[in-house]
Structure 1
Amino acid sequence: MTTGIVYHPAFLTHEQHPLHPERRERLAYTDDQLTEEGLWEDPRILRLHPRPAAREELARVHDERYLDFLEQSSTTGGVIDLDTLIPPGLFAQARLAAGGALVAGESVMAGTVRNAFAMVRPPGHHAGTCSGAGFCYVNNIAVMVQALKGRGCEKILILDWDAHHGNGTQEIFYGDPDVLFTSIHQSPFYPGTGDATEIGAGKGTGYTINMPVPAGSSDEVYQYLLAEVIAPVAAEFNPDFIAVSAGQDNHFTDPLTGLALTAGGYASMMAFAVELADRLCAGRLAAVLEGGYSVEGGLPYTTIGIIAALAGMDLSGIRDPSSYEPLFRRAFNPHALDHVQETVGLLRRVHGSFWRCLS
């Protein structure tokens, strides 16, 4: 079966201002790279077209008053915070991004594609029930997950590997035992949430697993956490669907963050997620783009790695240009793995009473 890629030029229309990090070039350059590599014409790739999410689909996640605020502010423009302006027309653009995530999930569930990647903007994982933040307005992956729960998926695993903690997604599902939210993110860093001791509340206690990592963390750190924490917990949880918040701002060239992942590392992470989905839930997986602000040096290469892994392509050629090596050496922290091994010890103490595999 094919891999679905949700993309439309309308995703380029959202713009806060030309110098904002979350700008149209993020996808414009990536689209150019996919065209240059021939991926749009590859028979293993099926291009999917988004649809605007309906108001009631957004309301499964967001408060009606917040949606009213977004819709009304979109007529003339408004402000959530200094980094998250509301340009005219924003609500329609946010609905289309959320609808792109919905199409990704729906296409997988319908069997139209094996798995899918929603290459959308604006991103969503900082948007909570009643607020936006961090360039995010509507929580795209949460809208998709809530829709999947209505389509027979009783248990859903969210893997958020964006460099920033997905505080909005965590808040939305913090008390929900049917959604296991896991996050690997740089710490200390914006938005200041995502400590390993944040584990959920009420019936959802134990179903939030945060894995903060220090600046300079590289591919080996992420592979360690995937193997030591995500793989065993996912097997014990046994999800019906895996949703990936596929932020790409962990790349060592990203101007807003301080991590040291490579394009090959992204391909390996997605290959891990695909294998996990194949083993646990008949391959049902959809990824949604979050951050990633190295518009020329990182995002086009990491996206190709992600798509290649989803489509089962040869990953041996997924690498960054050799001229980037000095940039990687400056970003890399050789002590990060030691730090993260200590964090895993803390996770075992915090979560051991909830997960047999961590006890």
Structure 2
Amino acid sequence: MRTGIVYHPDYLLHEQTPTHAERRERIAYTIDMLDEEEVWDDSRILRVNPRMATDEEVLAVHTGDYLRRLKEADISGAEFDENTYAPPGFLNNTLLSAGGAVTAGEAVMSGEVRNAFALIRPPGHHAGRDFAGGFCYLNNVAVMTRSLQNLGVKRLMIIDWDAHHGNGTQDIFYDDPDVLYISIHQEHCFPGTGRIKDIGEGDARGRTINMPVAPGSSGRVYRYLMKEIIVPAAEEFKPGFIAVSAGQDNHFTDQQTRLALDTKGYADLMSEAVYLAEKLCGGRIAAVLEGGYSVEGALPYVNLAIIAALAGFDLSMMREPALYDPLYRDSFNDIAFKVSEKMAKKVKKVQSKWWDCF
């Protein structure tokens, strides 16, 4: 079976300002690279056309009042925060982005594809039940997750490795015992949420696992946390589907963060997630593009690495941007790793009441 890439040219239309960090080039340069590398022609790849999310699908995640505000903003425009402006006419692309995530999940569940990557924008994981922010209006991965629940998937796991904590996703699933939300994010970074002690509420206590990592954290840190926290939790939780909020802003060239992943690090992370899905839920996994703002320098390479890991390409062929500097990438690695070891111990201690594996 093939790997689906969900994409539509209209994803290039959304624009807050031409120089905004979340601009059309985030996907445009990736499409150029996929064309140059002839990825679309590979027999292991299937391009999947998205559809727009319906009001019903949106309302399974967001409040009616919030959707009304979005529709009003679609007419006159609105500023949700200093970096999140909704220009008039933005809503169609936003619904197409959420619908692209839903399409990815549906394509995997129907057997049309083995797994999928939703190459969509605007991103979504900062959008909560009744709020926008962080360049996000609708929570794409949450809309997909709810749609999969409605298709009969009983337990879902969301792995969010965006450098910024997915405060919106946490808000939406904080009281849902059937969704395990795990976030690895840079500490003391926007939006300032994602504390270790935030574990969920009610019957969902233990279903939110936050891992704030230190600046300079590289692939070594992420692999360690996958082994120590994510894999044991997944094996105990036994999800029927794994969703990945694939934020690509932890690359060492990204100017909005101070992390140190390289292209191979992303490929390794995605490969481990794919292996986990194959072991636990019949390979059912879909990645959804979130952040990533090293628009020319890294994002096309990282997105290609995600696709390569999903499709089973030879990962030894993964390339780094021309400005690749392994000394910079590794400069804080030892310190960051030691900090992460201590952090992981705290996570296990806080979560131990709710998990046998910790």
Same fold (TM over 0.5): yes
After superposition, residues 110-189 of structure 1 pair within 5 angstroms as: 110-189=110-189
Provide the residue aligned with 1:103 in structure 2. 103
What CA RMSD, in Å, does the superposition of the two structures yield over aligned residues?
A: 1.1
Q: Which residue of 2 aligns with 1:80?
A: 80
Give, as a single letter, the amino acid of the residue that structure 2 aligns with 1:229. I
Unaligned runs of 5+ in 2: none
Q: Whole-Å Cα distance in 2 between the matches of residues 242 and 222 of structure 1?
A: 18
Which 4+ stretches in 1 moved above 6 angstroms? none
The one-letter code matched in structure 1 to 2:181 is F
SS in 1 for 2:130: coil
| Cα distance, 1:281–1:217 mapped onto 2, change above 3 Å | same
Report the 3-state secondary structure (helix = DSSP H, G, I; strand = E; otherwise coil) of the residue aligned with 1:357: coil
Structure 1 length-normalised TM: 0.98
TM-score after normalising by structure 2: 0.98
- Offset of residue 334 of structure 1: 2.7
The superposition leaves residues 235-289 of structure 1 with CA deviations (integer Å, 9 ceiling, x where unpaired) of 0000000000000000001111110000000000000000000000000001100
Identity of aligned residues (%): 57
Question: Number of matched residues?
Answer: 358
After superposition, residues 1-359 of structure 1 pair within 5 angstroms as: 1-321=1-321, 323-325=323-325, 328-329=328-329, 332-358=332-358
Q: Distance in 2 between matches of 1:286 and 1:329?
A: 28
In the alignment, residue 307 of structure 1 is paired with which amino acid?
I
Contact in 1 for aligned 2:261/2:329 (Cα 8 Å): no
Q: Is the partner of 2:181 in helix, strand or coil? A: strand
Alpha-carbon shift at residue 328 of structure 1 (Å): 3.1
In structure 1, list runs of 5 or more residues that go unmatched.
none
* More displaced 10-residue stretch of structure 1: 312-321 or 27-36: 312-321
Distance in 1 between the 2:204 and 2:315 partners? 37
Aligned residue for 2:317, secondary structure, equals coil
What is the letter of the counterpart of residue 297 of structure 1? G
Q: Are the counterparts in 2 of residues 259 and 332 from structure 1 also a CA contact under 8 Å?
A: no
Distance (Å, rounded) in 2 between the aligned partners of 1:281 and 1:17: 41
Deviation at 1:348, TM superposition (A): 1.4
Cα offset for 1:329?
4.1
Cα 1:79–1:293 change in 2 (3 A) is same
- Deviation of 1:331 (Å): 6.4
Q: Is the contact between residue 29 and residue 295 of structure 2 (CA under 8 Å) also seen in structure 1?
A: yes
Q: Is the 8 A contact 1:2 1:113 kept in 2?
A: yes
- For 1:237 and 1:218, the matched residues in 2 are separated by 27
